[in-house]
Structure 1
C-alpha cells in the first residue's frame, strides 16, 4: 500500500453473507433473492453500450426493475449465442467470429482483443461497423449503490483486514452519529422549553444559521461503500478514483478485467492541449488528439480478477473495468495514512483552478467571501473542500488520540518503557515504511527463533497503528493549516481597502447593499477564523501526544 502498487487478494469474500446468498446454487447471480431482499431500493443505472464515449445516460429505477431487464438481457445474449453457433455450422466461421466480437457489448470484445495481442488500432477497425444490436440496445450497469448505508442491518460483508483503516468511511460514520446525537438533543431541548411555555423561535433561527454555515464550509459527508452489478459486457470507462483515493473491489459473482496505468504515465492520456484525458485506452482518435495513447497502451497492467478475489487499486492509477461475466462486486474508496497526501495535493490544485475560474468575481465580493466562493466551487468539482479535509483529519486524529489515552491508562506505569521502541519504529516508518518491519524483527530474532515474528505494524488498535495515523494526519494538517493561515492573513490585509470601498458605496448609492455585503464578509471571515482555530488546536494535541511517544512531527 505504501508503494502504491496494485495487489490481488485471494479468498477475500470467504465467510461473507453476500457470498453465501447472492450466488445462485448453480453459479451466477441469485436474482430471486436479491429481488426479495432489496427489490424496492432505488438504484442508479448507466448505459455502457460501446457507442457511448464513456458512459451514456444515467437513470433511476428500482432494483426489481433492473433485475427484470437483466434477465431479459441474458435471454437476448443466449439467443445471439445460438445464432452464432448456427452460423458456424453453416460454414461461415469468419462472419460468426465477427458477430461474436460485436455481440459482446463492446467492452468484453475490446478486452478479448487486447488479451489476444491485437493493437488498439486493429481493435478500432473491427468496431467501425457495429451491428443493429449494438446501435439500438442499451447495456445497463448498476453503479454506486450505497447498500451498506441503505440496509445497515443486513451485514453483507466485512472488509478485508488489509483495508480496515478507512478514513473516509470512518469520518462518514462519525459524522452521521454526531448528526443523529445533535438532532436528538435539540429535539429534547425544544420539547422541554415548549413544555415550560417558552417557545424558542430566535434560538431556532440561530441553530438554522449555524447549520447553514457548517454545510457551506465542508463537504456533506457521504459514505464511499458501493455495490456494482451488471451483465457480461458492462464496463466502467477510463478514470482515476475520486479524491485520488485508494479503492478495493471484491467479486462476489463473476470475473472482471482491469487495465491500470501507473501514475507516472498518466500524462500520456492527455490531449495535445493538456486540457482533457481520453475516454478509453482504445479511444478512436483519427485526428491524433491524444498522441500518447499508443505508449499508454504499452504501459498498461492487465489483471483478470476471479470470483472471490479482491483487487487493490492504488491512488492515482487510471483504469478501466470490464465485466467478463454477469458480475456483482462490492467496492470501497478510502483514504488513510498511506495516501491522504495524494488527496491534499489534488485539493491544492483544485483550489488553484477554482480561484482562476472565478477571478473576474473578485471585485464583486469581500476577500473572505471570495475565498468561501472558491471553496464552494472546489467542493462541487472535487467532492471535498479544505474545511472538509480539515474536519476529516481532526476526526481521525481525535479517534487515535482517544485510543492512545485509553491504552496509556490500561498500561499504567509500564507504558513509557514499552512505548520507547515503538516510537523509534514509528519514526522509521515515517521515512522508510518498507524498513520498519525488518527493524522490528531484528531484536526479536536475536532472542531466538521462537520470538522472531514481529507484531503486525498495521494491526488496528495498537499503539503503532494509532501513532502512525497521527503522524500522517498531522503532516497533512500542518500543511493545510499553513495554507489556511496564509489565506486568512491575506484576507485580513485586503479587508481594510475593501471596507473603504463599501463606505464610499454607502455614501454614494445603496446603503442597504453595502450593509448586506459587509454582513456576508464578516460571516465568511468568522468561518475562516474558526477553521484555523479548530485545525490549530488539533495539531497542537497531535504534537503533544507524539512528543510523549518520542516522535517529532
Structure 2
C-alpha cells in the first residue's frame, strides 16, 4: 500500500463516522471484468472494489501460472481424476448431499477422496444421476492437510488476510478451501462466515452466481422471518409465504468460466451452481476494510443468543458467560476470541512498524506473499484501534473475565491510539 491509497482509505472510513461499511446499496448494472494483470494494481482493487465493497471478476490471465490449473485439469478441460487420486486419494474429505436440506444447509459425511472420485465417475456414467444423491465435496482444507504441491499463488489483491494470518499463528485451522463437484452441485443461499470477504477461482468448469447486495436479503424473508434455502425456487413467488419478495431487486448474475476469479464482497448474500464438472479454490478473509462488518455481525450473533436464552437470565449463574460459550459453539468465535484476534494482528503490525521496513519489503510473518509495508501496517492499526474502542466500550465485553489478557484491552487500545497519532505523517 502506498501513502496516497492509505490516505484515501482513511478518509473513506472517516466519512462513515463509525457506521459499518457495505450497507444496502443498489446493485450495479453489471459486474466489472478485470482483463489484464499488468494494468491492474493493488491500489486499483483496493479503491475500486475493496473499499466500496463491490464484486468483480478477474480473467483467467490472473491464474495462468497456478500449478493446480496445470496438473488438476486434463487437456480437454475436465478434472484430472488420475492426478488427484495419485496425490490425494487417501485424504479424507468432507462431502455434502445437495439433495437433502438440513435447516438451510446440507448434511455432510466424510470419505477418502478416492471414494468420492469413484462416485463422481459413476455419476457421470449414469447420466449425472445416482441413487446416492448429488454429492458435493465442500470445505476441504487442502492447504492445511498438504503442502506437497504447488497448488496456487496468493494474488496480491487478497494478501492482507487477517483471518488466515490469525489462524496460522495458532496452527489449528484456516479458511482456505477446495470445492469439487459434478454438474448440478450447488451451494444454498448464504452470506460468508463472519461477514468475511471471499475469493473463488475455478480451476476447471463453470459456475453461475446469484448476488444480492447487503440489505436486499431482508425482502427475501418468509412469513416466519427465515431466509430462503434456494432463491431460484418457485416457492418464492408465493406472496403468502414471501410477502415482501416483490421489494427485492433482481439478483446480480455472474457466469464464471474456467480460470476466472470472483471477488465476493462482505455481507453480500449469494447462491452458486456448478454448470459443469467443477473444481474451485476458495478463501475467506478479513482485513481492515471489513473488520467493522465482522464486529457488527458478532454483536448481532450475541443478541440472537441472548434472546434465545433470555428466560434464564435471572436464574442462571454466569448467564452472560454462558451466552458467550453458546455463541462460540454456534458461530466459531465470541467476544473474547475476537479480542485475541485483534491483539495478534495489532502486535504483528506494531512489530513491523518497529522494524522500520521499507514500503516494498515483504513481511513473511503475515502469510506467504503478504505485502505489508509501513503504510499498510499504519492503516491496519488505525482500523483495529477504531473497532477495539467499540469492543472495550461494549457492556457485554465489560462483563467478560479479561484478567488473564496480556496486555489488558484498555492498554492495547492506548498503545494503538498513540501509534495512530505518530504515524499520521508517515
Query: Under TM normalisation by the shorter chain, which class is it?
Result: 0.7 to 0.9
Q: 1:244 to 1:551 in 2, by over 3 A?
A: farther
The 5 Å alignment of 1:116-515 reads 136=131, 138-176=133-171, 222-274=173-225, 276-285=226-235, 286=238, 288-296=240-248, 298-366=249-317, 369-407=318-356, 460-483=371-394, 486-487=395-396
Alignment-derived partner of residue 113 in structure 2: 63
Instruction: Give the counterpart of 1:40 among 82, 90, 93.
Output: 90
Tell me, yes or no, if the aligned pair for 2:199 and 2:262 is still in contact at 8 Å: yes
Structure 2 distance, partners of 1:153, 1:476, is 38
The equivalent of 1:443 in structure 2 is: none
Name whichever structure is richer in helix by fraction: 1
Structure 1 counterpart SS, 2:63:
coil
CA distance in 2, matches of 1:261, 1:532: 41
**Bigger share in strand:** 2
Q: Distance in 1 between matches of 2:258 and 2:422?
A: 47
Q: What residue number does 2:420 align with?
A: 546
Shift of 1:24: 1.1
Offset of residue 299 of structure 1: 2.4
TM-score (norm 1): 0.62
5+ unaligned residues in a row in structure 1: which ranges? Answer: 78-102, 104-132, 177-220, 412-458, 492-524
Deviation at 1:74, TM superposition (A): 1.3
Structure number with bigger Rg: 1
After superposition, give the CA deviation of every residue in 1:152-195 in whole Å (9 maximum; x if it has no partner): 2434112211011111100011112xxxxxxxxxxxxxxxxxxx
- Give me the TM-score of the superposition, normalised by structure 2: 0.80
- Cα gap change, 1:153 to 1:545, in 2 (>3 Å): farther
- Show structure 2 runs of 5+ residues with no match: 1-49, 360-369
- SS of 2:209's partner is strand
Residue aligning to 2:55: 6
RMSD of aligned alpha carbons: 2.4
Separation of aligned partners in 1, 2:167 and 2:106: 30
Show the counterpart of 2:363: none
Distance 1:51 1:530 in 2: 43
Pairwise CA distance, 1:34:
0.3
Contact 2:336 2:397 in 1 (8 A): no
- Cα pair distance change 1:534/1:53, threshold 3 Å: closer
Q: Does the 8 Å contact 1:145/1:227 carry over to 2?
A: yes
CA 1:387–1:70: 2 relative to 1, 3 Å: same
Mapped partners of 2:66, 2:302: distance in 1: 41
How many residues were matched structurally? 364
